[in-house]
Amino acid sequence: MRIVLLGAPGSGKGTQAALLKDHYSIPHISTGVLLREAVANETALGKQAKAIMDRGELVPDDVMLDLIRERLGQEDVRAGYILDGYPRNLAQAEALDAVLGDVGLPVQEAVLIEVDEDQVVERIAKRAMEEGRSDDTEEVVRKRMRVYEEQTAPVAGHYADLGLLTRVFGEGTIEEVLERIKGALQQGVDG
């Protein structure tokens, strides 16, 4: 099963990806983790990314896609993957589709975890308190939500146009949301 998880910041993508990874025994590919590992391991791409980040710039899409392509070349991905944190805009979605097509591992399911904005703000505020983070203020979170709506939300439309999108209600307990996602994925496999 090849899955892309979509949703606003604080929607639970990372939590659900970790649980789905265990349930389906497929790797969870987080672009943030890929980037940190490449930098820590001082790979060629890691060195390139570090130089860019050290200048205070965002790592460009072509470098991120190269990291994803490199990860997709590993044997454990042949059984499937859960991609989380990418794509974040339509251009990335289209470029990702091309890369995944090139390596013969196109997305089979895109799951959008839908959560009300006030719920997202509450979740992130709780997480910020638990982790001692001062950067996740309500103002910052609402700004991130506006950026998400403008740039990332249209990615769901891209996958809907391809007939791959499933929307899942993301409120409730972690286990309830997980069961909804598994049910939706099972329907996608069966239907």
Catalytic residue from among 47, 78, 126, 127: 127
Counts for the chain of helices (H) and strands (E), in that order:
9, 5
Catalytic residue from among 88, 142, 167, 182: 88
2 belongs to the catalytic site = no
Distances (CA, A) of 102 to 9, 112, 128, 178: 29, 25, 40, 31
Q: How far apart are CA 88 and CA 117, in angstroms?
A: 18
> Would you state the structure tokens that stand for residue 191, as one six-digit string?
């239907």
CB-hemisphere CA count at 13 Å for 119? 13
55 belongs to the catalytic site = no
Catalytic residue from among 126, 133, 143, 146: 133
Catalytic residue from among 2, 71, 123, 144: 144
Place of tokens 């308190």: 129
69 belongs to the catalytic site = no
Catalytic residue from among 13, 71, 123, 180: 13
Cβ contact 142:117 at 8 Å: yes
Q: How far apart are CA 64 and CA 68, in angstroms?
A: 6
Task: Enumerate the active-site residues.
Answer: 13, 88, 127, 133, 144
